[in-house]
């Protein structure tokens, strides 16, 4: 889809480190979550790679205990958009087509905060993604190196 088909507000906000809040059908929880855009150039790559922020820190740490370098813990003090201590499992990125994301954004099903994840946390997330033994190389190739 050409970039001109994308909502202007979304086009201006969508980049690596952008944070959105919405309900994702592929998650087991029906509650909305914070998602971090992790691909290096989402507007041209056409598929958004989204890292999920979970408040279930102990559960995620336990699940990834064999690969602690693939999770990133983020506190509200580090990023005040988050209301609770959160963790990102960088082994499990959600993929959403830019077309679908745009349609949901236009319908106001996706909220943007006008604030991106700070550079140091973006670098930590990229490092954790590239450390993953689970993610395929073609997914990692869409994420800038740490």
Specify the pLDDT at position 26.
80
Per-residue pLDDT tens digits for 42-94: 999 989 999 999 999 999 999 999 999 999 999 999 999 999 999 999 999 99
Give the burial class of 105: count Cβ atoms within 10 A of its Cβ; 0-12 exposed, 13-18 middle, 19 or more buried. buried
Give me the chain's average pLDDT, please: 93
**Residue among 37, 60, 28, 31 at smallest CA distance from 112:** 37
Calpha distance 4→89 (Å, rounded): 33
Question: What does the pLDDT average to over 18-28?
Answer: 89
Confidence band, pLDDT 50/70/90 cuts, at residue 25: confident
Specify the pLDDT at position 42.
94
pTM of the complete model: 0.94
């Amino acid at each position: 889809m050409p970039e001109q088909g994308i909502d202007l507000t979304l086009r201006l906000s969508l980049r690596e480190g952008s944070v959105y809040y919405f309900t994702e059908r592929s998650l087991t929880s029906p509650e909305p979550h914070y998602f971090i855009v992790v691909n290096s150039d989402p507007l041209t790559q056409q598929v958004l790679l989204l890292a999920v922020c979970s408040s279930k820190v102990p559960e995620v740490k336990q699940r990834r205990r064999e690969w602690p370098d693939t999770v990133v813990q983020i506190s509200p003090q580090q990023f005040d958009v988050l209301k609770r201590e959160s963790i990102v499992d960088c082994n499990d990125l959600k993929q959403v087509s830019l077309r679908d994301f745009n349609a949901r954004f236009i319908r106001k099903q996706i909220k943007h905060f006008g604030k991106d994840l700070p550079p140091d946390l973006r670098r930590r997330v990229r490092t954790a993604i590239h450390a993953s033994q689970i993610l395929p190389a073609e997914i990692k190739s869409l994420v800038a190196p740490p």
